[in-house]
Amino acid sequence: MKEHAIKLTILNQLADGSFHSGEALGEMLGISRAAVSKHVKGIQAWGVDIFSVQGKGYKLSEPMQLLDQAWLQSQVESPVELIPVIDSTNQYLLERINNLESGAVCLAEYQAKGRGRRGREWISPFGSNLYLSMYWRLEAGMAGAMGLSLVVGVAIVEALEKLGIEGIKLKWPNDLYYQDKKLAGILVEMSGQAGAAAHLVIGMGMNLMMANHEQSVTQNISQPWTSLSDVTQSAIDRNQLAATLINTLQNALNEYEITGMHGFVERWNRLDNFLDREIKLIMGNREVTGLSRGINEQGAVLIETAQGLETYIGGEISLRGLS
Ligand code: ATP
Ligand code: BTN
């Protein structure tokens, strides 16, 4: 069997949330109970909460809805690849960038090396969140990349709104926040420039049921965070959510290619988590404090300081709320 195939088969069985005996699982897979137990430990190391009861077998703490590649592909026009266990979906697309069509998507259930901005880790336990990357060939070239990254945030919040999920906001440049806590992060990476176009990989990690995980999984998250399960009481269909995000994102990126930031500034400012609130911009050793005033057509963040209205742009700036 292929690497991980046994673990994924066990997970498929356990996904219903009921007990499955080691014996039955072993029989199905043609392996011993001891081998099943070893694989279960491996699954637990992916951040899945499985417990075992003598005489009953193994059970997930919560049922799990797995992603369904065939269904997703039926909903999306561009190629969709589901690789359940991966190092990083962004890395995967970057390594194949010359052979991809614009809009191609990679999704995973678990990332061993999920990454955030500036090489930080993105905590990516199996099966409960979304880890999604899309390749985009941006005809406008590098000059358009800053705006594109803001458009991605707008598109993702608007996709959630389409599904009836309200109250999600943006933190410049492109994190999703709910009640001042991080719900999702976006990482746009570039792979050079052939001719005029820029080759971008847009990655998004969104917490759906992170709160169900044990503290050992989430303890390394270094800032306040939240999950979609804290935003809505309704059950979240992970496949429906992924398909809506992909399609809404592609529509917004196509629109951006035609109109640029026109229209997106207002859409971004409507969703600004810190609009008219006191913020701090951190740029290496330098800090600027003032009132947040949204973004401009260049995608720069506007801050009203004692010196007047100032604009800042660039990847090395961190924004923090002060009130
Ligand atoms: P900055 O504005 O300084 O760039 P950021 O919020 O964009 O801040 P990154 O530099 O992108 O942060 O680093 C990722 C941050 O996200 C880290 O603080 C990390 O601990 C946190 N993090 C990692 N995994 C998750 C997760 N699943 N949910 C929420 N936050 C996470
Ligand atoms: C951030 O730091 O806020 C950005 C986090 C981006 C995480 C996503 S998960 C899918 C894609 N693959 C990665 O390794 N990172 C991004």
293 is catalytic: no
The most distant pair of C-alpha atoms in the chain lies apart, rounded to whole Å, by 73
Residues 177, 246 within the same domain: yes
Please compute the mean of the pLDDT values over residues 207-236 and round it to a whole number: 90
The pLDDT score that the predictor gives to residue 163 is 96
Residues 117, 184 within the same domain: yes
Query: Rounded distance, CA 28 to CA 203, Å?
Result: 37
Residues 82, 180 within the same domain: yes
The token pair that represents 187 in the structure block: 């990482």
Residues 148, 95 within the same domain: yes
CA of 115 relative to ligand 2 center, distance in Å: 5
Q: From the CB of 174, is ligand 2 less than 6 Å away? A: no
Residues 42, 131 within the same domain: no
Q: From the CB of 260, is ligand 2 less than 6 Å away? A: no
Closest CA to 106 of 175, 196, 201, 184: 201
Please compute the mean of the pLDDT values over residues 32-56 and round it to a whole number: 95
The pLDDT score that the predictor gives to residue 314 is 87
The pLDDT score that the predictor gives to residue 202 is 98
Please compute the mean of the pLDDT values over residues 129-148 and round it to a whole number: 93
Domain count, the chain: 3
User: Quick one: DSSP state of residue 115?
Assistant: B
pLDDT digits (tens, 9 = 90+) for 244-283: 999 999 999 999 999 999 999 999 999 999 999 999 999 9
pLDDT digits (tens, 9 = 90+) for 277-317: 999 999 999 999 999 999 999 999 999 999 999 999 988 89
Residues 265, 279 within the same domain: no
Query: Rounded distance, CA 313 to CA 322, Å?
Result: 20
pTM of the full structure: 0.95
Cα–chain center distance at 62: 21
The token pair that represents 38 in the structure block: 């070893």
The token pair that represents 17 in the structure block: 């949330």
Q: From the CB of 131, is ligand 2 less than 6 Å away? A: yes
Does 147 appear as a known binding residue?
no
The pLDDT score that the predictor gives to residue 191 is 86
Q: From the CB of 186, is ligand 2 less than 6 Å away? A: yes
The token pair that represents 149 in the structure block: 């990254």
Residues 307, 261 within the same domain: no
Please compute the mean of the pLDDT values over residues 201-218 and round it to a whole number: 89
Residues 134, 222 within the same domain: yes
Residue 257 has phi, psi (to 5 degrees) of: -60, -30
The pLDDT score that the predictor gives to residue 172 is 97
% the chain with pLDDT above 70: 98
Catalytic residue among 56, 113, 277, 320: 320
Residues 262, 215 within the same domain: yes
Does 18 appear as a known binding residue?
no
Residues 92, 25 within the same domain: no
Looking at the CA of 121, name the nearest ligand. Answer: 1
- The pLDDT-based confidence of 33 (bands split at 50, 70, 90) is very high
**Residues of the domain holding 25:** 4-60
What DSSP line would sit under 266-307, residue for residue?
HHHHHTBTTTTSEEEEEETTEEEEEEEEEE-TT--EEEEETT
Looking at the CA of 153, name the nearest ligand. Answer: 2
- Choice among 112-116, 139-143, 151-155, 302-306 with the minimum mean pLDDT: 139-143
Q: Domain containing 47 — which CATH number?
A: 1.10.10.10
Q: From the CB of 89, is ligand 2 less than 6 Å away? A: yes
238 is catalytic: no
Q: Domain containing 283 — which CATH number?
A: 2.30.30.100
Does 182 appear as a known binding residue?
yes
CA of 196 relative to ligand 2 center, distance in Å: 26
The token pair that represents 206 in the structure block: 């969104």
CA of 185 relative to ligand 1 center, distance in Å: 7
Query: Rounded distance, CA 252 to CA 257, Å?
Result: 9
Residues 28, 129 within the same domain: no
Secondary structure (3-state) at 123? coil
Residues 123, 165 within the same domain: yes
Average pLDDT across the chain, whole number: 94
| Residue at a domain's end among 43, 60, 77 | 60
